[in-house]
Structure formats: structure tokens, C-alpha cells
């Protein structure tokens, strides 16, 4: 019984030392690249984010959206000139952790339950 208690104490001590870094201010603005695989193809999106706008470049198309900051690590991307009702939905982004030159994030479209993840790298 003592061994089990000691083992649990060691495990809890070690797990409490793990610190998930989240320096969101560093990634609030700038130019970033996000790569994802879909259907066997590597898709690359480049985007530049300011305090108020995000400009995305994907497969030769440019799209501009408005930014609403929830806090330093969360923001909404709201399309400015959507071409359809489906395109008019906002996306909510949240930074989960950061490294020296990238951040891991999750996002979901307004009104949808499915959450996606990705990693963006400073360009």
C-alpha cells in the first residue's frame, strides 16, 4: 500500500512540473503559414494578421476577414465579403500552446460542433 501511495505521489509531482507554454502575444500579429494534408495533397495557407484584419492566401485566392479579439489567445475571424451564406459564418480560433516560431491552435466554425487543429509557423 505504501508503494502505491509513493508511486502516485511521484506521478502527480512529475505531472505538475509540466508547463504548457502559451505566449500568445508573440503570435497576435504577423505573417504565418499553415500546412495541412487533405486527400493526399499538402495544402498551404499563408495569412497575415493585424489587430483588425486577417488576409489569407490559398491556391491563388485572397480572402480578407475582420478580427475580433476575445482575449490574447482567442479571436474570431469574420468574413468581410462572403460569397454565400455558408461563407458568412465566423470561425473561433484558440491558441493551445506555443513554441519559439509556431503555435498550435484549434478552431471551429460558428454554429458547428466539430473542432479542428493545426499548427501555424511564423513566416
- How far from chain centre, in Å, is Cα 99? 13
* pTM of this structure: 0.79
Residue 76 burial (10 A CB sphere; 0-12, 13-18, 19+): middle
CATH of segment(s) 21-122: 2.40.128
For residue 12, the model assigns a pLDDT of 52
Parse the chain into domains and list their residue ranges. 21-122
- pLDDT, tens digit (0-9, with 9 covering 90-100), for 55-105: 999 999 999 999 999 999 999 999 998 888 877 899 999 999 999 999 999
Which residues, in sequence order, are CB contacts of 77 under 8 Å at separation 6+?
54, 65, 66, 67, 90, 91, 93
Amino acid at each position: 500500500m505504501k508503494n502505491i501511495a509513493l508511486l502516485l505521489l511521484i506521478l502527480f509531482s512529475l505531472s505538475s512540473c509540466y508547463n504548457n507554454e502559451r505566449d500568445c502575444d508573440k503570435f497576435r500579429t504577423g505573417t504565418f503559414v499553415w500546412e495541412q494534408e487533405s486527400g493526399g495533397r499538402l495544402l498551404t495557407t499563408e495569412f497575415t494578421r493585424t489587430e483588425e484584419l486577417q488576409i489569407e492566401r490559398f491556391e491563388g485566392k485572397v480572402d480578407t476577414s475582420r478580427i475580433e479579439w476575445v482575449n490574447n489567445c482567442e479571436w474570431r475571424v469574420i468574413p468581410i465579403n462572403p460569397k454565400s451564406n455558408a461563407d458568412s459564418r465566423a470561425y473561433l480560433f484558440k491558441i493551445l500552446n506555443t513554441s519559439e516560431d509556431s503555435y498550435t491552435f484549434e478552431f471551429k466554425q460558428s454554429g458547428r460542433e466539430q473542432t479542428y487543429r493545426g499548427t501555424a509557423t511564423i513566416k
